[in-house]
Structure 1
Amino acid sequence: MASLKEVRNRIVSVQSTQQITKAMKMVAAAKLRRAQDSIIRMRPYAQRLNNILTNLSELTGDTVSNPYTTKRDVNRVLIIAVTSDRGLAGAFNSNVMKGVNSLITEKYAAQMAAGNVEFLAIGKKGHEALAKKGYKLNGDYTHVFANLSFDTVRVAAEFAMEGFRTGTYDQVEIVYNEFKNVATQIIRKEQFLPIEEKPKDETAKNTNIPDYIFEPSKEEIIQTLIPKSLKIQVYKAVLESNASEHGARMTAMDKATDNAGELLKSLKLTYNRSRQAAITTEILEIVGGAEALAAGR
């Protein structure tokens, strides 16, 4: 059995840890509110922009060339993995890595074997995990979340878009955590490029396409909106991941605080038992000594 001093030291250590986890939970909760507000505002905008592009594509058909819808034989692939810069968020980052591995296994095993799968990691943890496995990484986007804005994310999106447009990559995928609520984050594996078109049977049913007046022209509008929409799509994924990170960290720290409380109860019980045993031993020794003295007289 551990000595009383050792148990006391463990109690002090666990109490200090519990205070830290409580503080981290409160910080995560404050950051989560701001991150959640950001993604809630972004979702309708991204959805509306996507609907406009879909309607424009149906109106113009194949009359307007679009390099981002070009389908090629998939030989070279770029996977964008969105993680976080910090840990202590439960399985948040490891789930993204699992999603990346499952994506490779399900769709790109041949390309991976040929060494034709490259990665772009947004977030320090993903960058470290992929580098540790020896995968080829492009660029350094490890501190995007330190100053999260559209401009910082746009650089990563433009790299992927330029790589696809010039034929460096035949397909681009993005893996991230979608925010559902504080306790739930959903791993999403989405094809970023080429842009997936609606099935014809679905588009044929869409009879409520607005009557647009194009100014300056259909071609110029589409050539401007499509790149912007793609950048918004990446920015939305990063915002989703940011909110998910704070939700995951808040949940993890809440559980850690509860676990620390349970451990404190167990340690205090152990301490009280050890203390009582020590007192009992001392009493027995005193009584034994007194009886020995009485017998010696």
Structure 2
Amino acid sequence: MANLKELRNRIVSIGSTMQITSAMKMVSAAKLKKAQDSITQMRPYANKLKEILSNVSATLDASENAFAEDRDVKNVLLIVVNSNRGLCGAFNSSIVKLSKKMVAEYEGQNVKVHVKAIGKKAWDAYRKTDNIHSENNDIWNDLHFEGAAAIAEEAMNGFLDGTFDRVEVVYNHFKNAAVQEATRELFLPVVPTVSENGSTGGDYIYEPSKEEILEDLIPTSLKIQIFKALLDSNASEHGARMTAMHKATDNANDLKNQLTLDYNKARQAAITNEILEIVGGAEALNG
């Protein structure tokens, strides 16, 4: 059994760790509320706009919508969305695992994969590979639509000029504070919606004109999809960190209680030994 001084030092150390993990849990809980409100308000709008975009794309030919052009896939851009910090459970590792699985699948088909890393953890996972294309770690310092639009424009321009034949986004989909789902989502090309009866598109009335509306609708919709993915990932990060720090605090508390019990047992054993020594010495003197 460890000596009393060692046990005391471990108990004090675990107590300090508990204070840190508890504080991180409270900070993440405070940030989660705002992040959760943002994604829950954005998601219906983004999903409906994506549905309209898919329906409208089905009514257009290739000359009217270059973003729907279906090509032989030779170059793929993966936008891998992770965080800048750790201590959030499997949040980062699940995205790295899924993205690397996708890289292996594409390379097995002789497709060149380019990775745009969003967040330091994604950058760390790919910076020593020849897949890395670019990175953007500063987006999390001030998450806003303009930053997401810049990421989307880079991917859109790469698709239009033929640098990439396909663009996919890998991110954590926020379900609730305890559940985040690693998700892969096709960004480009835009896939037209086909109903069960085989019909495509929808019945829309365009005002002022179809061309003017689509010229603005398609790029805006694509930028919003990226913004939604970033908001999803942001809320997922805070939820994952809050859950991880809650579990860490509970585990530290259990360990501290066990060490306190061991300390009390060791202290009682030491006191008992001292009493026995005193009694034994007294009996020896009496004898």
* Residue 294 of structure 1 pairs with residue 278 of structure 2: no
Matched, 1:173 2:168: yes
In structure 2, the partner of 1:218 is 210
1:273 aligns with 2:273: no
Answering whether residue 6 of structure 2 is matched by residue 11 of structure 1, we say: no
The residue type equivalent to 1:118 in the other structure is H
Contact 2:18 2:249 in 1 (8 A): yes
Match of 2:179 in 1: 184
Alignment CA distance shift 1:194-1:211 (3 Å) = closer
Aligned pair partner of 1:143 in 118, 138, 144: 138
Change (3 A) 1:189 1:199: same
Task: Give the aligned residue type for 1:76.
Answer: N
* Structure 1 unaligned residues grouped into runs of 5+: none
Instruction: Give the superposition deviation at 1:104.
Output: 2.5
**1:138, distance to aligned residue in structure 2 (A):** 2.6
**1:241-252 alignment to 2 at 5 Å?**
241-252=233-244
**2-structure distance, mates of 1:152, 1:66:** 24
What is the SS of the residue equivalent to 2:134?
coil
Kindly tell me the number of residue pairs found equivalent between the two proteins. 287
The one-letter amino acid of 1:71's match is D
1:37 aligns with 2:37: yes
Asked whether the equivalents of residues 117 and 135 of structure 2 are also in contact (C-alpha less than 8 Å), the reply is yes
Of 145-154 and 196-205, the range deviating more from structure 2? 196-205
Q: CA deviation at 1:19?
A: 1.1
Whole-angstrom distance in 1 between the partners of 2:4 and 2:42: 56
The residue aligned with 1:152 is 147
Structure 2 CA distance for aligned equivalents of residues 198 and 96 of structure 1: 28
Match of 1:131 in 2: 127
Deviations 1:156-177 (A, max 9, x none): 1111111111001111111110
Deviation at 1:293, TM superposition (A): 2.1
CA shift for structure 1 position 211: 4.2
State the partner residue of 2:21.
21
Q: Is the 8 A contact 1:164 1:171 kept in 2?
A: yes
Question: Displacement, 1:93?
Answer: 0.1
TM-score normalized by the length of structure 2 = 0.94
Task: Return the alpha-carbon distance in structure 2 between the equivalents of residues 61 and 77 of structure 1.
Answer: 24
Offset from partner CA, 1:38-94 (integer Å, 9 cap, x none): 001111211222233234334x43285211111111111111100111100000000
- The change in CA–CA distance for 1:253 and 1:121 in structure 2 (over 3 A counts) is same
The answer to whether the Cα contact below 8 Å between 2:167 and 2:188 also exists between their aligned partners in 1 is yes
Q: Distance in 2 between matches of 1:90 and 1:291?
A: 61
Residue 229 (structure 1) aligns with:
221
CA contact under 8 A between 1:82 and 1:123: conserved in structure 2?
Answer: yes
Contact conserved, 2:55 with 2:193, CA < 8 A, in 1? no
- TM-score norm. by structure 1 comes to 0.91
Give secondary structure in 2 for the equivalent of 1:121: strand
Q: State how far apart, in whole Å, the 2-side matches of 1:111 and 1:150 are.
A: 35
Are the equivalent residues in 2 in contact too, given 1:183–1:247 (CA < 8 A)?
Answer: yes
- Residue identity opposite 1:190 in structure 2: E
Q: Structure 2 stretches of 5 or more lacking a match?
A: none
Q: Identical aligned pairs, as a percentage?
A: 53
